[in-house]
Chain A
Amino acid sequence: MKIVVWLLVLALIIAHQDIWFWNDGTLVFGFIPIGLFYHSCISLTAGFTWFLATIFIWPAELKEES
């Protein structure tokens, strides 16, 4: 699981460079430009990824401390 979480972090960093919506002006829900919507999803996914990180890759020595 440790590797999966780090791969997720790496995937987020790569997904951040979204060339696919670069010139797309589509409005999601009629008011959010799709580029902004996509990056908002990146923010929320980052929160979830870091949640997984605190569960699966929190340093073992600090687990004992807490």
Chain B
Amino acid sequence: MTVLIIIGIYLTLLVLLGVSSSLFSRGTKKDYMVASHSIGPFLLLMSIFGTTMTAFALIGSTGDAYQYGIGTYGKLASSSGIIHSLCFFVIGVKLWTFGHKYGYTTQIQFFRDRLDSNNIGIVLFPILVGLVVPYILTGIIGSGALLNGLTLKTFSAGTFPAWMEVDSGGGLPKFIGAPVICLVVLIYVFFGGMRATAWANAFQTIIFMVLGCVMFSIIANNIASEGSILANMQLASSKVDASHATRKDMSQSAFLTYMFIPLSVGMFPHLFQHWLTAKKASNFKLTVVAHPIFIFIVWFPCILLGIWATTDLVTLPPPVAAAPNKILPFMVKQFSGDAVLYGNYLIGFLGAGVLAAIMSSLDSQFLCLGTLFTEDIVTRYAGKDRFSDKSMVLIARCFIVAIVIACLALSFSTFISTNVFILGVWCFSGFSSLFPLVFAALYWKGLTKYGAYACIIASAASWLYLFKLSKYGGDDEFTIQLGSFDVMPVAIMITISTLAMVIVSLITPKPSPQTIAKFFPESKS
């Protein structure tokens, strides 16, 4: 019960932080959505990093390393260090410039102007929302699994309704844990908007990075009894079999094509909104430089914990071994729990650290969905003056709540894969397949609105087709066979969407000279 009390205190602090940030609000729509473009370099770094690191980074990476070994780091961490910063540099800074200059708060507003297409939102909105949903699902599933894993054997049978206790192992059922986390996030997002989100993200990023390092050192200290932490780590790693300590069972071509997945950050709608919060373009510099290093700090310990979990130093109960999402919570509980030195206080703090990573993404995603709906659908099609500001906020909140309820229902169903890592990969793949669109919009004058429509439709169609082929994420090792090469589905999606965009753009009317002059000012001369 101590664990739940500490996590409860942490959640209360978070709500208070969010609510207090609203005291600094300027009361405008711009302040609610992009914090009046007032965020400095440190807050920008922490909020962007917190947003991109979610359950996927902590729980998912540990579980994937447990299953497939050290290759997990190369598949997504080191590649993200290169590609994320590249996207911040070549996409983020440029979009910030246009957003600042022309007052955009969503991607669709930018594309509408850039493509001279009033209705691009009708196609893009459902796709962006549809792709954010699996991302939200990773957070919801991760938080439910974490709270359950940390509280195993806390509650006696009959404490909760029988249907909730199935597979809960005496822990807090996911049917309670996940909705509570969503509720906390909703409260501070509703109160403080983007300012609360940025503050909470920074706070939570510090929490999960510091507690993550503490968690790793405690587990490393307790995983064996060799007399020193270094000796313990050496013993643990020496017991890891070759299939986890190398990449011998991993396809090199699949590893190569994983490199396309981090391109997704170029099209994340919630990240676009975070970019716009920057006070000036130079505030991006710290983010561009520190992001790869921060990724290393978070992922490196998780990968080691994942491969150590495969050794005989860790006795995993069959239900945990069968559920990769539960590996990290289990190790935290086993090696820093009441059976060792630190008692349940530590588990509570460490649990709060992992929850921090999860919630720092959920908040941005919730806010972004509300912004997309009010700006790109309600304001656009109902008219600017149809609803008062108060009604607009209410509509946004109702939309967010409806999406969250739908996500909770999906996360509890057996329809979709519950492997956080796999679900995350599919979500990122979808956004990556739209990357050619944003890149071309910024750097290719020849992109036409028809080319953009073709790109979006090709992305959506190829994603849906391949996701279905993978049994909706159920096939963990789904790849496409091209001759003797295995490639990740994302490579196929990007190829199809790029081809569709280029071919259709080449044969359809070019954008107006005014549009070209607006977005490519250097071409005027």
Contact = CB atoms under 8 A, between A and B. Distances in A.
Interface of A: 9, 12-13, 16-19, 21-25, 27, 29-33, 35-36, 39-40, 42-44, 46-47, 50-51, 53-54, 58-59, 62-63, 65-66
Nearest to B521: A61
A23 B245 CA distance: 9
Contacts of A12: 82
Contacts of B81: 42-43, 46-47
A30 B70 contact: no
B234 A30 contact: yes
Given A31-B233, A44-B292, A22 B246 contact: yes
Interface in B212-258: 230, 233-234, 236-238, 240, 242, 245-248, 252, 255-256
A42 B78 contact: yes
B288 A53 contact: yes
B307 A33 contact: yes
B432 to A, nearest CB: 15
Contacts of B36: none
Contacts of A51: 289
B196 to A, nearest CB: 27
A52 to B, nearest CB: 9
B132 to A, nearest CB: 27
B324 interface: no
A63 B256 CA distance: 35
A58 B288 CA distance: 11
A28 B242 CA distance: 15
Contact of A46 (B245, B280, B292, B300): B292
Tell me whether chain A's interface is mostly helix, strand or loop, or mixed.
helix
A53 B246 contact: no
A63 B281 CA distance: 9
Given A31-B230, A40-B73, A54-B288, A46 B82 contact: yes
Contact of A27 (B79, B234, B281, B291): B234
B285 interface: yes
A43 B84 CA distance: 11
B252 A22 contact: yes
B97 interface: yes
Interface string B273-308: 000000011100100111111011000100110010
B77 interface: yes
B234 A40 contact: no
B303 A50 contact: no
A39 B242 contact: no
A9 B300 contact: no
Contacts of A23: 242, 246-248
B74 interface: yes
B252 A17 contact: yes
A65 B292 CA distance: 26
Nearest to B74: A39
A33 B293 contact: no
Contacts of B70: 33, 35-36, 39
Contacts of B78: 16, 39-40, 42-43, 46
Closest 6 pairs (CB-CB, A-B): A66-B282, A46-B292, A43-B296, A31-B233, A30-B234, A39-B78
Residue with the highest number of chain B CB atoms closer than 10 Å, among A19, A35, A36, A51: A36
Interface stretch (B4-12, B85-93, B314-322): B85-93
